[in-house]
Chain A
């Protein structure tokens, strides 16, 4: 069974360039604006969308994504509304893969079976759930795979060769390599170490390997994209939204336009990645 993620990754591989994976927080700063940002992503050159599900206690996230989640929750975002956003997006774009990213509790409270049914119906292709390591696969990973939804696992610098097979075992879609030990939005790790890690993971799996945590600029996207199959950008996009919000949350410019400008630049970065690598 292939998903939109599998098809998109295969297409990009054939084109010989890495994917640009963009993260936005669902419902930030409000539902309508967030939906307009989401719609602007593929138009600006994003290949895969990670749609953040806000959570009150995001333990792996830095201040920028924490604040984005709180803005979304304050504006009334819920898991049900995040799914609704995905299905409204699907009405205009049936090809760009959507990966939901967040923490387990809202899904657990929604009910795993009901969630998977509704996620499928909303056009969701994959899940990244930060606090569900392989040891907890029975909770959501196995049911998701049975439902035909990709379960994308995070591999980290602490995932050594002994542990890697366990992490990869039920992973599908792509592997998300976290470039450093830390929270989202930290400074980018040594890029040479990152490419070595990508090579190491590729020795264990045929799945595409995307790299995230710390990538903020087109130049960084270009460098990381030379070895990785995809480059994930999150905090920089969330900051682009925050930067056009005033002290009371009022919009001082169009957030969708601000995000589109940033993403277009990043898209040029990933498109230059293999050219640079070939030089």
Chain B
């Protein structure tokens, strides 16, 4: 594969066709094409509208609880004995993860567009909960598609969505995970084009979703950058985030992309190892292909059939990744590394014990990588790990993995 020439800025994409280099685009059925063109037009108007910004700002502050703290993880830092580790505390947001940032932005877009019904897909249930939450807050009916496997392993979130008034529709196709939920949400959207807003939860899908989700999530990186400058007087040396579809990661990374001395690392789900097919490391073990409206790195066989993959973490259990990550990988700006199920589980337990914070299994993947590199770094170096969500939803899965009954 040809390496693209180094751009002057890594923050200008996508182009007018919705492409990040060869990645991204609008690979959708004709029925949906007028809808995504309309969304793009409305989004372009909204993003420069002071009223839209003010309403989002107000909700972010008073409803979601932003800004989230940049917390010096002293216990973990001492334990690892290297660089200073900071957590960006997205777990403290309303609904317990970064997903609310995007949902608030998109529900305001849906309102602007006069839509009457919200649909969403979810893996771990974090995005489903955030979608159900904003739908409840703004009085919309909401249908959440969720793989049947995920419904079983994330039952607390399923109940939360139901309490919030959403209808959860289990999807039995494939392995019953995020990929299958997204197919089913697209089938709903193509059927209910008139009144339905599709609230995509990650920075993937057809243009303009990767861009708009990134922009709504970039509040994470913008805050973290300012907070680090204020608390330490300089930028971090390394920033780390877990990548499933990649919305929390692109949100943290994007404001730092042109800070060339900041090393940026995205963590993929290595599952049970990259040798077989039981992982979700699309950028380490997949190749470019077209799925769910965009071209990106995908886990697939030689015939172009998409593979199901595996991760202990439902939120990372997706055979693709947002297109901007694929571009950042090929351009070399961001390094993507796999973390195994076992390593994530160890990070989950360690963080709980030395920090008194139960991280989401997704975030535990990012922490696990910090555990590998931080001990080898100098004590005056600075690392930010995106603690994208809290782990209450994962206690059943973890208990199961540890052979405990609860």
Contacts and interface: CB of A to CB of B under 8 A. Distances in A.
A71 to B, nearest CB: 14
A181 B193 contact: yes
Contacts of A153: 30
Contacts of A156: 29-31
Given A104-B27, A105-B300, A109-B302, A59 B289 contact: no
Residue of B27, B194, B289, B291 with highest tally of chain A CB at under 10 A: B27
A135 B17 contact: yes
Nearest to A107: B304
B303 A78 contact: yes
Contacts of A134: 33
B210 to A, nearest CB: 15
A211 to B, nearest CB: 14
A131 B304 contact: no
Interface stretch (A2-10, A158-166, A192-200, A267-275): A158-166
B191 A183 contact: yes
B304 A159 contact: no
A158 B34 contact: yes
Given A158-B35, A183-B190, A59 B304 contact: no
B66 interface: no
B29 A60 contact: yes
A50 to B, nearest CB: 16
A54 to B, nearest CB: 8
A108 B297 CA distance: 13
A97 to B, nearest CB: 22
B29 A108 contact: no
B291 A160 contact: no
A59 B186 contact: yes
Interface string A56-80: 1111101000100000010000111
B29 to A, nearest CB: 5
Interface in B5-45: 17, 25-35
Interface in A171-187: 178, 181-183, 186
B289 A108 contact: yes
B113 interface: no
A161 B329 CA distance: 41
B290 interface: yes
Contacts of A59: 29, 183, 186-187, 190, 292
B254 interface: no
B405 to A, nearest CB: 36
B20 to A, nearest CB: 15
Nearest to A180: B191
B306 A57 contact: yes
Interface SS of chain B: helix, strand, loop or mixed?
A: mixed
A105 B287 CA distance: 11
B200 to A, nearest CB: 13
A136 B27 contact: yes
Contacts of B191: 181-183, 186
B304 A154 contact: no
Contacts of B289: 105, 108-109
Contacts of A106: 303-305
Nearest to B295: A108
A109 B30 contact: no
Given A133-B29, A158-B31, A66 B173 contact: yes
A153 B29 CA distance: 10
A182 B191 CA distance: 4
A155 B30 contact: yes
B89 interface: no
Contacts of B165: none
B137 to A, nearest CB: 29
Residue of B17, B300, B304 with highest tally of chain A CB at under 10 A: B304
B130 to A, nearest CB: 24
B98 interface: no
Residue of A55, A79, A135, A182 with highest tally of chain B CB at under 10 A: A135
B30 A133 contact: yes
B81 interface: no
A185 to B, nearest CB: 11
B190 A182 contact: yes
Contacts of A109: 287, 289, 300, 302-304
Interface string A126-166: 00001111111000000000000000011111111001000
A49 to B, nearest CB: 22
B179 interface: yes
A108 B296 CA distance: 12
Contact of B304 (A79, A136, A160): A79
B305 A131 contact: no
Contacts of B67: none
B293 interface: yes
B386 to A, nearest CB: 29
Residue of B174, B292, B303 with highest tally of chain A CB at under 10 A: B303
Contacts of A104: 27, 290
Contacts of A131: 27-29, 290, 293
17 contacts: A55-B304, A55-B305, A59-B292, A60-B31, A104-B290, A105-B290, A105-B300, A106-B303, A108-B290, A109-B302, A109-B303, A133-B26, A133-B33, A158-B32, A163-B34, A178-B31, A181-B193
Given A59-B190, A109-B289, A156-B30, 13 more contacts: A60-B29, A78-B303, A104-B27, A106-B303, A107-B304, A108-B304, A109-B303, A131-B293, A135-B25, A158-B30, A158-B34, A163-B33, A181-B191
